[in-house]
Chains A and B, each alone.
Chain A
Amino acid sequence: MINTNYSSLIMTRNLKKTYQNPAGEIQALKGINLVINQGEFVGIIGRSGAGKSTLINMLAGLDSITSGEVWVENVPIHAKNEDFLANWRGLKIGLIFQNFNLISTLSLLDNVMLPLDFSGQFNAKRSRDLAKKLFDEVGISEHIFKLPSGISGGQQQRTAIVRALINNPAIILADEPTGRLDSVTSESIMHIFEAQVIKGKTIIMVTHDESLIPRFSKVYFMEDGLIFPKNTSDKKLK
């Protein structure tokens, strides 16, 4: 294995992913080369089936890579085992999903504190204080003892964002975070993301909603497993 030191925060080189299913072989990613630097708010736009979610899964180490390389903060994700990646994810990555993926039997507070429990970073009191502070920031602190089924989709997504932020990760990967939300709620979620980018976080967000393009500092289009950069003005979020 070549030990290459890359200056970029995230880099992929000729990343490929092939799935086998009863219908045959599906090439979801066909050699993705991507470079993302710290503090960028990256949008990956594409239609359903273009390979956007697969790319996010590869960057988060959620799925195995067929070939190619993924480097995140100089860590060769493609060469690491599952337990390493789990630990690494718990400390470095915040994940947000379209369907929120909250544990239905746990309160919002417990859902949010769960990653800290796994990473063992803080004791219970400090974890709770930190979670409450973040719930305050996203404006749902009055619901923290409710179950996910007791709140709206937007509130669930805010909870998922709080959960993604609780470990103070450098990178947030969001897979269609506004996909199931109305426009007003989507807007509020985008505001939260923008605020995080201002704080220095790097966010990679997958969406099919082209109207969000102006909100990103860097945009890629995906189609049929291939990625194309869109030249946008190097917009800096203030």
Chain B
Amino acid sequence: MRPSWHKLFSDLFVNPVRTILVVLSITIGLFAVGMITTIHLIIQKDMAEGYAQIVPPNILISVTNIDEDMVKNLVKLDGIASSEGARKFSARIKNIEGDWVKTEITARKSFLSPEIIQLKLIEGSLELSEGEILIDQFKYENVLINEEHHVFIELPSGIIKEIYLAGKSQDQTIGFDTGGGGFFIAPIQGYILMETLPHLEQALTFNQIYLTVTPENGNFNQIQKIANNVLDFLDENEIGVVQTTVHESATHPNSIYVNAISALLLVLGFLIVFLSSFLIINTLSALMQQQIQQVGIMKSLGATKKQIVSLYMILIFFYGMIAFGVALPLSRISAFGMVSFVASRVNFEFLGNRFLLFPILILAVIALIIPQLAGAFPIQHGVRIKVTEALSGFLGQRSAIFGKLALNKLRISRPVLISIRNTFRNRTRLILTLITLTLGGSIFISTFNVQIALKNHTSKIGQYFLADVNLDFNQLYRISKVQNDLKSVDQIDVVEGWAFAPSQIILDNGQAGETVRLVGPPINSEMIKANLLKGRWMQIGDHNAIVLNEVFQTNFPNLDVGDTLQLRVNNEETEWVIIGFFQLAGKSTGYIAYTDFDSLAKMNKSFFHTRIFRIASKYKNLNIYQQKSLANEISTVLRQKGYHVLQVEAGLSLLESTTVGLDIITIFLFVMALLIAIVGSIGLMGAMSLNVIERTRELGVMRAIGASNFTILRSVLFEGLLVGELSWFLSIFLAIPMTKLLCDSLSIALFDAIGLFAFTWKGILIWLGVVTFLSIISSLLPAVNATRLTIREVLAYE
């Protein structure tokens, strides 16, 4: 082997700590990019493809009643590819805590390869028999299953049935008709055959219509047009329509969360590539600093610039390749693990580990190009140094003006003064180190800020769910009677009857469009404090006044306060005056509108009666367990009095369900913050350690002239902490625009508007702790090693 190759390999293996630090800094950058690229590539693809594979309906229509022949006839309408009927109803199921909780049961003719909505079997069998039930995986663990593998269903009449549990399945269409957030607030889902309906006191007719459209009619507007034709057809046949929902085949109900994650990934990915590049530049600069004397020797022996540059470029190529070999499998494992985690939380199917060429190519290109580009500057700088300077190892470092001007006047001890001057001595290195650490710190702090911004938003959403207990009945009850009967529960302060009604927007062409959830609390309700974006909330004296959520603003930008909105409520066209807009949980919540109880009760023709109540305790700020205890007490009292209770649940559980989608983004951000902390930490450790390794000889000189090991360690520690804390201070300021960038990306993905922003000391303090700890470790370890060498060894150190 030629001597220059020997030199190359000796540079790789003679100083393993240095090689590990260089490889690690490249690896961590590649790992982050590889992981982010892989997630970005597969998360949206898996969601869309996995969802399309189950053949979701493009149109879902809830009707009062429809028979099989009529459902079959719908296929004859233009653009319809297939149709299927189902029956969906609510009941109660016993959970593992022994409580009765709401369940939604869907009855279909068969679950074996249906044309629309194919359930995925997780365990058991899809081949159901009469009297058997499947439970969806999402809340499966909550269901009480007895030794005979039966579950307990309480029918609206109060009769309890034991049904054999045939298996566990996954239904990706949960939340299809209630917006993305609907999945999280959906109750336990059960699936039975139509033949089982009579056992559960249900009619043998359909109330759900699933329709798919022909492939050439796949875009949203075309589907909407076809849906309107279907609605006209149903209207002509006097079939009452309750609700219509339209989706494209590849649009998963929870796609908003994955879109938000993708938006964050894009910004974070860019920042991490930037950070990694600086990390690599910094590390390679330190490496070249150590090699300067050897560069001088080689030049004195006749090596041209080109030969030296080639030698170091090949060395960097090897570093890059080792890093590539480590980062590729690690990034794949992490990315697939992350997508699998998100898939399980957001109800889509992770299509499994697979070969992906693009991330490999990206990593290979980055492994080859970024270190070379990053190394080009320090290498060029290194080979341009005069041979005589390089041979002396003295690079004509400028004196620290800062130290000269200010520090001499301060009463600072000589070793500390030396530490400060050392810190500012090599300004290029200091700037590079500071940029790397500041970038890492600011991204870390920003991810915390985004988490807090999301949390603040969640707290605001909590203002819509101030009730301690939410009570749903199977039938209408007179409000004053329920209020009176609950007086026996001491803890109760207020009982409010709320009205709810599904409705549909009437479009300009007169046809019904998207479904709107109309909510009608009493006009002076104390259980909701809306976050108004525009206009005002309801006041006494308002009639048919309506406050709309932000989804209306996004999809109907021309709508404004004072305009009239036409809605189809209970098959009647009604007019409402828009008095304001409020913000809830973003696009995922679908269309929600608040009006006053009386206006909505009028539409429902249920004056003074309702099925839904909101109850507040006398005691403020109950936790979820206290709320559950109150809910149980209310349930017992009402059952004793003969009420048909469908569901009594703690107020906070509804808030938890509503915000669980945002929690997934928070968890994702936390993982990203961890990743960035690791990148930043390795950057910090690498930079600090190389700084100290580089000064090993200098430390030996200091020891030779009488400095004790303690003095050396103190000096090195001071320098490390000075750089670390300086970067921390700078990162606080850089975190402001970075937080804004991340928050804006997330806000646009979630709400289609800029709105989120928060700045918290939490991330700043955590990063201060991380920086301080790592500064100490990464400065002290090499310094301790340096003090362990004999002075003779250190002075000979190269």
A115 within 8 A of B: yes
A-B contact pairs, 12 of them (CB 8 A): A22-B399, A57-B388, A62-B387, A82-B299, A83-B304, A89-B300, A103-B7, A105-B7, A114-B7, A117-B4, A118-B302, A124-B1
Bound-state CA distance A101–B393 (Å) is 11
Q: How many Cβ-Cβ contacts under 8 Å join chain A to chain B?
A: 90
Instruction: Contact check, B396 vs A21: say whether CB atoms are below 8 A apart.
Output: yes
- B294: CB under 8 A from chain A? yes
Map CB proximity to A onto B474-498 as digits: 1 under 8 Å, 0 otherwise.
Answer: 0000000000000000000000000
Tell me if B2 counts as interface (CB < 8 A to partner A): yes
Contact A167 B302 (CB under 8 A): yes
Q: Choose the segment among A2-10, A90-98, A227-235 that binds chain B (4+ C-beta atoms closer than 8 Å).
A: A90-98
Q: Is B428 close to A, CB under 8 A?
A: no
Does the CB pair A63–B386 fall under 8 Å? yes
Contacting pair B302 A111 (CB below 8 A) = no
Cα-based distance from A82 to B306 in the complex (angstroms): 11
B10 neighbours in A (Cβ, 8 Å): 105-106
Is there a chain B Cβ closer than 8 Å to A14's Cβ? no
Closest chain A residue, CB of each to CB of B6: A110
Question: CB within 8 Å of B: which of A135-154?
Answer: 149
Report which of B1, B4, B388 forms a contact with A62, defined as CB distance below 8 A.
B388
Contact A114 B304 (CB under 8 A): no
Chain B residue numbers with a CB within 8 Å of A22 are 398-399
- Please pick, from A62, A105, A109, A124, the residue contacting B14 in the complex, using a CB distance under 8 A: A105
Whether the pair A89, B301 counts as a contact (CB closer than 8 A) is yes
B798 CB within 8 Å of chain A: yes
Whether a CB of chain A sits under 8 angstroms from the CB of B357 is no
| A86 contact from B2, B6, B304, B798, Cβ within 8 A | B304
* Distance of A88 Cα from B303 Cα, bound (Å): 10
Do A149 and B796 have beta carbons less than 8 Å apart? yes
Chain A contact residue count (CB 8 A cutoff): 37
Report the nearest A residue to B797, measured CB to CB. Answer: A104
> Complex: how many Å from CA A117 to CA B298?
11
A95 with B7, Cβ < 8 A, contacts A57-B388, A62-B388, A105-B14 known: no
- From A97, A106, A119, B6 is in contact (CB under 8 Å) with A106
Chain A residue contacts of B120, Cβ below 8 A: none
B301 and A95 contacting across the interface, CB-CB below 8 Å: yes
Digitize B566-592: 1 where CB-to-A-CB distance is under 8 Å, 0 elsewhere: 000000000000000000000000000
Q: Taking the complex as formed, is A16 at the interface, i.e. its CB lies under 8 A from any CB of chain B? A: no
- A66 contacts chain B at the CB level, 8 A cutoff: no
Asked if B421 is at the interface (CB within 8 A of a chain A CB), the reply is no
A64, CB-defined interface residue at 8 Å: yes
Q: Nearest Cβ distance between residue B429 and chain A, in whole angstroms?
A: 19
| Identity of the chain B residue whose Cβ is nearest the Cβ of A86 in the assembled complex | B304
Q: For the complex, what is the distance from the CA of A86 to the CA of B295, rounded to whole Å? A: 12
Q: A57-B388, A60-B300, A62-B300 are in contact. Are A86 and B7 (CB under 8 A)?
A: no
Given contacts A62-B387, A62-B388, contact A118 B303 (CB under 8 A): yes
In contact, B3 and A82 (Cβ under 8 angstroms): no
Does B703 interact with chain A (Cβ within 8 Å)? no
A62-B388, A90-B303 are known contacts. Are A118 and B6 too (CB-CB below 8 A)? no
B300 & A113 in contact (Cβ 8 Å cutoff): no
Shortest B395–chain A CB gap in Å is 12
Please judge, given known A-B contacts A21-B396, A83-B304, whether A106 and B388 are in contact too, CB under 8 Å. no
Interface of B is mostly: helix
Is the pair B388, A86 in contact by a Cβ cutoff of 8 Å? Answer: no
Tell me whether B391 and A97 are in contact (CB under 8 A): yes
- Docked Cα-Cα span, A115 to B396, in Å, equals 27
CB within 8 Å of B: which A143-185 residues: 149, 163, 167
Does chain A have a CB within 8 A of B416?
no
What's the Cα separation between A105 and B12 when bound, in Å? 10
Q: How many residues of B contact A (CB 8 A)?
A: 32
* Contact flag A90-B302 (CB < 8 Å), given A101-B391, A117-B2, A149-B796: yes
B223 to chain A, nearest CB (A): 69
* B300 close to A95 (CB less than 8 A): yes
B791 to chain A, nearest CB (A): 15
Cβ-neighbour of B7 out of A87, A109, A110 (below 8 A): A110
B→A interface (CB under 8 Å): 1-4, 6-7, 10-11, 14, 293-294, 296-307, 386-388, 391, 396, 398-399, 796, 798
Chain B neighbourhood of A106, CB < 8 A: 3, 6-7, 10
Partner of B302, one of A64, A103, A104, A115: A115
Main secondary structure of the interface of A (DSSP, over half): helix
With A62-B386, A101-B391 as known contacts, state yes or no: A117 contacts B304, CB within 8 Å: no
Please give me the residue from chain B that is nearest to A101 by CB atom. Answer: B297
Say yes or no: is A107 at the interface (Cβ < 8 Å to chain B). yes
Residues of chain A lying within 8 A (CB to CB) of residue B4: 114, 117-118
In whole angstroms, how far apart are the Cα atoms of A97 and B388 in the complex?
11
Residue of B nearest to A128 (CB): B3
The answer to whether residues A104 and B798 also contact, given A62-B388, A110-B6 and a CB cut-off of 8 A, is yes
A227 to chain B, nearest CB (A): 19
Counting from the closest, the 9 A-B pairs by CB-CB distance are A90-B302, A105-B10, A110-B3, A62-B387, A115-B301, A118-B303, A113-B3, A114-B3, A105-B14
| Complex alpha-carbon distance, A22 and B303, angstroms | 31
Q: Taking the nearest CB of chain A, how far is it from the CB of B483, in angstroms?
A: 88
Q: Which residue of B lies closest to A95 (CB)?
A: B300
Cβ 8 A contact of A103, one of B2, B294, B386: B294
**Complex: how many Å from CA A107 to CA B7?**
9
For residue A119, which residues in chain B have a CB less than 8 angstroms away from its CB? 302
Say whether A163 contacts B305, CB under 8 Å.
no
Q: A21 vs B305: C-alpha distance in the bound complex, in angstroms?
A: 26
Chain B positions within 8 Å of A86 at CB level: 299, 302-305
A118 and B396 in contact, given A103-B7, A105-B14, A149-B796 (Cβ under 8 angstroms): no
Per the bound structure, the CA–CA distance linking A90 and B298 in Å amounts to 10
Asked whether, in the complex, the Cβ of B398 is within 8 Å of the Cβ of A87, the reply is no
Q: Is the CB of B305 within 8 A of A83?
A: yes
B301 contacts A118, CB within 8 Å? yes
Residues of chain B contacted by A163 (CB below 8 angstroms): 301
Least CB distance, A134 to chain B, in whole angstroms: 15
Shortest Cβ distance from residue B19 to the other chain A in the assembled complex, whole angstroms: 12
Q: Among B299, B386, B399, which residue has the most Cβ atoms of chain A within 10 A?
A: B299
Expressed in whole angstroms, the minimum distance between the Cβ of B150 and any Cβ of chain A is 75
Complex CA distance for A149 and B2, rounded to whole angstroms? 21
In chain B, what residue has the closest Cβ to A105?
B10
Q: Is A114's CB under 8 angstroms from B388's CB?
A: no
- Whether the Cβ atoms of A87 and B302 lie closer than 8 Å is yes
Assembly CA distance A120 to B519 (angstroms): 86
Q: In whole angstroms, what is the CA distance A167 to B294 when docked?
A: 19
Q: A21-B396, A105-B7, A106-B6 are in contact. Are A118 and B391 (CB under 8 A)?
A: no
Q: Contact flags (1/0) for A19-39 with B, using CB distance below 8 Å?
A: 001100000000000000000
CA distance A21 to B386 in the complex (A): 15
Q: Name the A residues within 8 Å of B386 (CB-CB).
A: 62-64
B11 touches A105 (CB 8 A): yes
* Chain B residues within 8 Å of A64, by CB: 386
Chain A: CB-nearest residue to B384:
A82
Most interface-central of A83, A86, A95, A106 (chain B CB within 10 A): A86
With both beta carbons as reference points, the residue of chain A lying nearest to B397 in the complex is identified as A22
- Chain A's nearest CB lies how many Å from the CB of B475? 87
B14: A residues at CB distance < 8 A: 105
Residues from chain B with a CB closer than 8 A to the CB of A101 are 293, 296-297, 300, 391
Chain B: CB-nearest residue to A57: B388
| B-chain residues with CB within 8 Å of residue A87 when the two chains form the complex | 302, 304
Contacts of B293 in A (CB 8 A): 101
Beyond contacts A106-B3, A118-B298, A163-B301: 7 other A-B pairs, Cβ-Cβ < 8 A, are A62-B299, A83-B305, A90-B303, A101-B300, A102-B297, A114-B298, A115-B302
Task: Verify A118–B307 contact, CB threshold 8 A.
Answer: yes
- Is A89 in contact with B302, judged by CB distance below 8 angstroms? yes
Give B426 Cβ to nearest chain A Cβ, in Å.
15
- Alpha-carbon distance A170/B628, docked complex (angstroms): 98
Cβ-closest chain A residue relative to B387: A62
Question: What is the minimal beta-carbon distance from A161 to any residue of chain B, in angstroms?
Answer: 13
Point out the residues of chain B lying under 8 angstroms from A149, CB to CB: 796
